[in-house]
Structure 1
Amino acid sequence: MQRTSRAIEAAARDHVGELKKRAIENALRATAIAVDSLDMASLPVSATGWTGNPKFQLPGGLLRVWRALDLLTGSVGFRFLDWDGITSVVIVGCRDRIVAVLGGIPPGAAEDKWSSVVRDAEGAIEACYAQSTFEEKEREGRRGEFASRTFGFGFGFGNGRPKPMNYKISGSGKQAVAKNKEAVDKLISNDDGIRALSGFTNDLFNCFGHKLYMEYKDAVEELVEKQPELARNFPSTVFAAATVNFGPRSFSPPHMDSDNRADGWCADTALGNFDPDKGGHLVLWDLQLVIRFPPGSSVLFPSALITHSTLPIQPHETRYAFIQYTSGGLFRWRANGFKTDADWLKKASPAEVLDREAARRRRWKTALQKFTRWNDLRFGDWKGLRRSKAGLDDCSDLLELESEEDVKRLRDR
């Protein structure tokens, strides 16, 4: 471990301006849980490679037991991960790729101080809910029986270009809409709570998914520069959008957020007053994992690809969720030269169309290479540069397995 720590610290010195000290400390303290059964190449990706495949569904038998912790960890045979919500844990697939991160709390933060941040965020969410009005249809969404608000910007749903998501904030009359938007503005300007949570989850993304983080960062900066009306929710976030589930009892049946970027991560923070031993667990179905998910803790994972759900809490409890993500359509728009597919095709030559189709076929293979390898990170290689120098970039999940000689050659460089 001492050698690993020195390697990480030395490599971090080469990334001044890209990796904060907190991100470095996240890696130093992390432990890994292996899920050898997970082959990421088999996850349901759309034909374009930008988003998940919404046609994928769980068998009916599993859907009937999604609410029952004892059945999932008993007869169904899912593995139970008794996470304390404090330490950092990375979940690693069968090719050493970091699939998900259980973030815990910031390194060096006293538990009581972080609890104050969490309480402040919860207070801001409760105030936003109290100051808002919701139409009846807004109190029950496709993700569960709770009210929510989405803000930031996205692409899709018939829009010809990226749009601010606050157009979804509705109300009965202009005054109600204005009041609801004002409530959201107060929520996202909550420095000591919501913004602190966003900052920490961005640090986690930077640390454990550095290649993807930098691509998100570049994309958001370019999009905001092209369209100034696309304002970030928070000054330094790389996520384009966020949703707050107000509850008061937020839990969701198994689903995928297939409109999000396929190989990207969403950041899910649990908040509220509930007993995490009795409910609120995060279930990652493709990984066959049931994860204890205490209030105040954050998890990052590819929500467009992995079917996930949260278990019900007790009737007298409260649970909120703060979720940050980016639409896959934004990356497609950017790759098209800030055009829709239809507009791009109108001016494309036959050769350009062929090149584009070839790029689509390669996209998922390329995307797999952007996931950080756990052993690369352990040895301080944030960007996977030694892997490139060793000629191992093409050794993806879609090709033959890397040999022990390949791995040894990489680690010895």
Structure 2
Amino acid sequence: MAREDSGVYDEEEFEVEETTEPASTDLPTPSPTLAQPAAGLTGLAKKNDNKRRRDRAKPAATTAASLNSVTPPTPTPQVLEKAAQSLPISVSFAGDNFRATQQRWTGLAKPLEHPLLAHAHDAEFLKTRMQFADWQGEQTHVILDRKQHIVGVLVAPPQPGQDWNAVVAAATAAMREARAKMTFPAAACQHRRASGDGFPAEGFGFAFGGGRRVVGNIKSSSARNAAAMEELLADPNVARMATYPIPHFQSLCYNIFADYHKTKQTLLQKNPRLHHTFARSPFTAATANLGPVSVSPPHTDFANKADGMCLIGALGCFDPDQGGHLVLWDYDLISAVVTHSNTPIQAGEEHFSLIQYSAGGLFRWVANGFQTDLSWRASATAKDIANREEEHKARCAAALKKFTRWKDVKVKNFSGKARLDVWHTGEVEDFSDYTEDESEEERTPAKKARLDGPWV
């Protein structure tokens, strides 16, 4: 039996703590708190202020309930409208070529070979040989494969300008302070995702792997580091940086978002002792790359869900024209990354990042009825095993259908339901650019494109 079947992932940095599942499976729903009425208001002014506070509390209560429900929340009309205004970047990659293990839950450990790997740290060279997206963070862009599936998103900040710059600067300061509070042995700076002088990383949340037989919390390297990490994730500016891309994930990749949300909430309801990262995020874990210069060599996060996504948030003070680029080797694409920080660039630049993800083993654990493959096979019949093998063969085709097509986003058909289904439910009215021919059209990407933030 493969090591993956027993929950072991070679070379994975996270270690999982075993947690016992409580008898109760009820997950408490946070209650929204009403803002205090403004001092000195009387009469009609006080009455109107109270009404405004009650009106604001209603959507807050609805949001709190949806975040704790196993049923995935759907994007609002405003979010769908904004998603339809995204700009496309076509790449030569074909979604049919996504690589996965035999079980089809996680990716392959061996990175894709690329002829330019020897120049991985020469951004200027790569810009001339790969498709270059000169993204300035002013507008959201979607990355489309050859058949126009959305396989990545460059998410613009919600409010470009000085106010947002202040949020980013404060989140960067929080990362800097968290690093100062933590202690790491010298070896902690050298790992699979670090290059050059290296950098330490600290994780939080829950996962499945590291040789454990149950889902558990990611073990911190020390109690001191765990406290600093909890404080970091509780920082309102860090939380805002981490969660503002979620509506884009929800509207542009809804079926994948729904998988993540349902799996996270199912596991939390089964075991509330599992650590939360951000309430608004469907991801189960977060890793802070604490720099001061976080530079990664080409690598594959193979323990992640093979047909899933992760969120990469860039923070720090650096010149995005000179470094800090995002290189997507499978897509043959290099993109500039900006942080929108208003802190002036110093001689010693800083590169921090916050990664949100969910281990692929979590999805398999739930699909197995909350057990490993080994445990499932121990009680499975020959027919069960035969059916499972057929599921493995069909999983890649089913997974590809979960990636949203760009044509569906343009008509706000976020779930990708069949055209007639959507028409009869009256969810959209304009299908003028929604043609069957378009679904099989393959487009050749431009070599370079100048694009109008920090999240992917």
Q: After TM superposition, is the score higher than 0.5?
A: yes
How far is the alpha carbon of 1:264 from its aligned partner?
0.8
Q: Distance in 2 between matches of 1:388 and 1:58?
A: 42
Q: 1:69 to 1:366 in 2, by over 3 A?
A: same
Q: 1:341 aligns with which of 373, 381, 390?
A: 373
**Equivalent residues in 2 for 1:184-195, closer than 5 Å:** 184-191=229-236, 193-195=237-239
Give the Å deviation of 1:51. Answer: 0.8
> What is the identity, as a one-letter code, of the residue corresponding to 1:339?
Q
Instruction: Give the aligned partner of residue 136 of structure 2.
Output: 84
Q: Could you say which residue in structure 1 is the equivalent of 2:59?
A: none
Match of 1:34 among 90, 108, 120: 90
Whether the 8 Å contact between 2:80 and 2:414 is mirrored in structure 1 is: no
Q: 1:19 to 1:273 in 2, by over 3 A?
A: same
For residue 136 of structure 1, what is the amino acid of its counterpart?
A: A
Q: Quick check: 1:44–1:56 contact (8 Å CA) kept in 2?
A: no
Q: Is the 8 A contact 2:105 2:305 kept in 1?
A: yes
Look up the match of 1:300: none
Counterpart-to-counterpart distance in 2, 1:343 and 1:16: 29
CA offsets 1:193-252 (integer angstroms, 9 cap, x no match): 111122212222101101111111111001111122212211221000011101111111
Give 1:406's aligned residue.
436
Mapped to 2, the partners of 1:185 and 1:161 lie a distance apart of 23
Bigger relative contact order, structure 1 or 2 (CA pairs below 8 A, ≥6 apart): 2
Aligned match of 2:413: 381
Q: Is the 8 A contact 1:26 1:207 kept in 2?
A: no
Q: Distance in 2 between matches of 1:365 and 1:86?
A: 35
1:13-412 aligned within 5 A: 18-20=74-76, 23-35=79-91, 37-59=92-114, 61-74=115-128, 77-106=129-158, 109-144=159-194, 145-165=198-218, 167=219, 169-170=220-221, 177-191=222-236, 193-296=237-340, 316-387=348-419, 389=421, 406-407=436-437
Alpha-carbon separation, structure 1, partners of 2:75 and 2:316 = 31
Deviations 1:231-283 (A, max 9, x none): 22112210000111011111111111111001111000110000000000111
Q: CA offset at residue 388 of structure 1?
A: 7.5
TM superposition shift of 1:409: 9.8
Q: Indicate the SS of the match to 2:436.
A: helix
Using the TM superposition, give the Cα deviation of residue 17 of structure 1 relative to its aligned residue in structure 2, in angstroms. Answer: 5.1
Question: Does the 8 Å CA contact 1:278/1:314 hold for their aligned counterparts?
Answer: no
Task: Tell me, yes or no, if the aligned pair for 1:27 and 1:377 is still in contact at 8 Å.
Answer: yes
> What's the secondary structure of 2:258's corresponding residue?
helix
Q: Supply the AA of the counterpart residue of 1:69.
A: A
Q: TM-score, normalised by structure 2?
A: 0.73
The 1-side partners of 2:100 and 2:414 are apart by: 26
Distance 1:179 1:254 in 2: 31
Aligned pair count reads: 353
Shift of 1:316: 1.9
TM-score of the aligned structures, taking structure 1 as reference length = 0.81
Aligned amino acid, residue 267 of structure 1: L
Name the aligned partner's letter for residue 256 of structure 1: T
Q: Alignment partner of 2:293: what SS?
A: coil
Check whether the contact 1:33–1:92 (CA below 8 A) recurs between aligned residues.
yes
2:94 alignment partner AA: D
1:64 partner amino acid: A
Distance (Å, rounded) in 2 between the aligned partners of 1:259 and 1:16: 24
* Distance (whole Å) between structure 1 residues aligned to residue 340 and residue 253 of structure 2: 21
How many angstroms does 1:43 deviate by? 2.5
Cα distance change on mapping 1:258 and 1:408 into 2, 3 Å: closer
Rg larger in structure: 2
Amino acid at match of 2:200: A
1:353-377 Cα distance to aligned partner (Å, 9 max, x none): 1111111111111000000000011
Judged with a 3 Å threshold, the aligned counterparts in structure 2 of structure 1 residues 129 and 405 are, in CA distance, closer, same or farther, namely closer
Could you say what secondary structure the match of 1:385 adopts? coil
Q: Measure how far apart 1:16 and its partner are.
A: 11
Residue aligned with 2:399, SS: helix
| Paired residue secondary structure (2:209) | coil
Q: Deviations over 1:335-361 (max 9, x none)?
A: 000000011011111111111111111
CA distance in structure 2 between the partners assigned to 1:406 and 1:87 by the alignment: 29
Q: Determine the C-alpha separation between the residues in 2 that align with 1:110 and 1:236.
A: 21
Q: Which moved more, 1:195-204 or 1:278-287?
A: 195-204
Percent identity reads: 34
SS of match in other structure, 1:269: strand
Q: Deviations over 1:69-90 (max 9, x none)?
A: 222123xx20111100221000
CA distance in 2, matches of 1:29, 1:341: 43
Paired AA for residue 231 in structure 2: K
Distance 1:42 1:355 in 2: 24
- Relative distance call for 1:333 and 1:248 in structure 2 (3 A) is same
Q: 1:388 to 1:34 in 2, by over 3 A?
A: farther
Deviation at 1:314, TM superposition (A): 9.8
Other structure's SS at 1:354 match: helix
Change (3 A) 1:405 1:245: closer
